[in-house]
């Protein structure tokens, strides 16, 4: 997945917003909550997203995937795919969608209704 493909994929999800921050990272949010970003890899593209407990234990054991810099060190369960080919594009899309859903669930009922998610 390229950075442009990542941005198109995240932008196609309902009620998302995009900002560029934190050292030229593409940051995607739903209802103000971050669910995915691309950047933070010494100028090379890397994809960072929230995962569940099991995925946080298993995924970083695979080459090219690590606990997300900054986020994981603060106790958050985020991983970063930092090497091309470390994860299939289909799997990457599934994980980003799951991260989006985790962010949506954290929104208030009222905000979810306002956003239609």
pLDDT score recorded for residue 14: 97
Q: Are 65 and 82 in contact (CB under 8 A)?
A: yes
Q: Which two tokens stand for residue 65?
A: 């995937």
Q: Structure tokens of 18?
A: 């995009």
Candidates 3.30.56.10, 3.10.50.30, 3.90.1150.30, 3.60.70.12; CATH matching 3-111:
3.90.1150.30
Domain coordinates in residue numbering, the chain: 3-111
What's the whole-number average pLDDT of the chain?
93
The pTM of the full predicted model, rounded to 2 decimals, is 0.92
What is the model's pLDDT at position 91?
A: 97
Closest by CA to 57, choosing from 45, 46, 66, 44, is 66
Report the helix count and the strand count for the chain, using DSSP H and E: 4, 6
The pLDDT value recorded for residue 45 is 86
Q: What is the pLDDT of residues 28-83, one digit of tens each?
A: 999 999 999 998 767 678 999 999 999 999 999 999 999 998 887 787 899 999 99
Given this model, what pLDDT does residue 15 score?
97
The Cβ of residue 81 has, within 10 Å, a number of other Cβ atoms equal to: 25
pLDDT of residue 20: 94
């Amino acid at each position: 997945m390229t950075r442009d493909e990542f941005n198109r994929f995240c932008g196609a999800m309902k009620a998302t917003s995009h900002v560029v921050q934190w050292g030229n990272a593409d940051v995607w949010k739903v209802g103000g909550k971050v669910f995915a970003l691309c950047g933070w890899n010494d100028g090379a593209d890397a994809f960072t997203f929230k995962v569940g407990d099991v995925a946080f234990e298993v995924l970083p054991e695979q080459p090219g995937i690590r606990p997300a810099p900054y986020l994981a060190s603060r106790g958050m369960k985020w991983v970063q795919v930092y090497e091309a080919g470390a994860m299939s594009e289909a799997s990457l899309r599934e994980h980003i969608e799951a991260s989006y859903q985790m962010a949506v669930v954290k929104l208030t009922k009222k905000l979810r209704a306002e956003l239609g998610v």
